[in-house]
């Protein structure tokens, strides 16, 4: 992390976990535990939990995020949720292009780009996920794969908007597997993402962008990961579902 240059953000990605009453209980438990955090604390929760989550964290330092958003304002898109809907209830962040959406729900680089632009246009903060598959790492094309995803996600996004965008580097082989990238591997790819941003925009813009690491980040490995210059926080799946497991990561990012 380099907090002098950019915001450190620890975001939970709850995925398809927690009913509204369970969401309220978890957030109520978390509020006192993270109230003195010296980093941004975000909980990205399922759609039906959003309203109660926003209500529960009112007046605290926890921000609420959604896990996806459609690019159209409204219309015949059964099952989808628009940025206006999210904005009106007080959502501030939106996870986009998560590997589970790319893998199971046909998400493409093109739709990630459309969603990113819509989310930014609505004044919400996108957390754009990128990351390589295991066989892509084995073929030694990690940097190419990730650079391609970053470039396509940010097509037609202005420098001003990219500074508001969060990028989450999540090696797909490390998600929910208990296998974490080493701190050096995470730093290498996060630095490569920043170099891509510098080429697409300029060095000053690249330095302003928060780049998170995600993939089995937990209390045991977060210190080492967050100590790296280009790792500006974490997108946390499994460990965000239990307050005692999430709090130490927030504490580590607050140092
Ligand atoms: P994990 O998930 O921490 O459970 O590996 C991270 C993510 O998918 O965002």
| Measured distance CA(97)–CA(128) in Å, rounded | 6
Per-residue pLDDT of the chain (255 residues; tens, 9 = 90+): 989 999 999 999 999 999 999 999 999 999 999 999 999 999 999 999 999 999 999 999 999 999 999 999 999 999 999 999 999 999 999 999 999 999 999 999 999 999 999 999 999 999 999 999 999 999 999 999 999 999 999 999 999 999 999 999 999 998 878 778 899 999 999 999 999 999 999 999 999 999 999 999 999 999 999 999 999 999 999 999 999 999 999 999 999
User: Candidates 46, 176, 177, 246: which one to mutate for ligand 1, based on the most atoms within 8 Å of Cβ?
Assistant: 176
Residues paired with 234 in a beta bridge: 10, 213
Q: Is the CB of 176 under 6 A from ligand 1?
A: yes
| Measured distance CA(205)–CA(182) in Å, rounded | 27
Sequence-distant (6+) residues with CB within 8 A of 229 are 1, 2, 187, 191
Active site residues: 98, 170
9-253 CATH choice from 3.30.450.40, 3.40.190.10, 3.30.70.2190, 3.20.20.70? 3.20.20.70
Distance (angstroms) between ligand 1 centre and the Cα of 249 equals 13
Could you tell me how far CA 199 lies from the centroid of its own chain? 22
Tokens of 110: 């093109």
**Which letter, b or e, does each residue of 155-181 get, where b requires 16 or more Cβ atoms within 10 Å of its Cβ?**
eebeeebbbbbbbbbbbbbbbeeeebb
Total-model pTM:
0.97
């Amino acid at each position: 992390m380099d907090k002098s240059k950019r915001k450190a953000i620890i975001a939970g990605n709850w995925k398809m976990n927690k009913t509204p009453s369970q969401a309220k209980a978890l957030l109520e438990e978390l509020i006192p535990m993270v109230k003195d955090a010296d980093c941004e604390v975000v909980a990205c929760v399922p759609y039906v939990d959003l309203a109660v989550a926003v209500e529960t964290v009112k007046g605290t330092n926890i921000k609420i995020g959604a896990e996806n958003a459609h690019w159209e304002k409204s219309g015949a898109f059964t099952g989808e949720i628009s940025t206006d809907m999210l904005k009106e209830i007080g959502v501030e962040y939106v996870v986009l292009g998560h590997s589970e959406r790319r893998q199971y729900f046909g998400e493409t680089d093109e739709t990630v780009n459309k969603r990113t632009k819509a989310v930014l246009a609505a004044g919400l903060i996108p957390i754009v996920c990128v990351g390589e598959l295991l066989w892509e790492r084995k073929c030694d094309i990690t940097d190419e794969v990730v650079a391609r995803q970053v470039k396509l996600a940010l097509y037609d996004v202005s420098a001003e908007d990219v500074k508001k965008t969060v990028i989450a580097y999540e090696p797909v082989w490390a998600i929910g597997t208990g296998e974490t990238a080493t701190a050096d591997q995470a730093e290498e790819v996060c630095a490569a993402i920043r170099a891509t941003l510098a080429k697409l925009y300029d060095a000053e813009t690249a330095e302003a962008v928060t780049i998170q690491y995600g993939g089995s980040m937990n209390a045991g490995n977060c210190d080492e990961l967050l100590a790296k210059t280009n790792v500006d926080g974490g997108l946390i799946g499994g460990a965000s579902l239990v307050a005692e497991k999430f709090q130490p990561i927030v504490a580590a990012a607050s140092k």
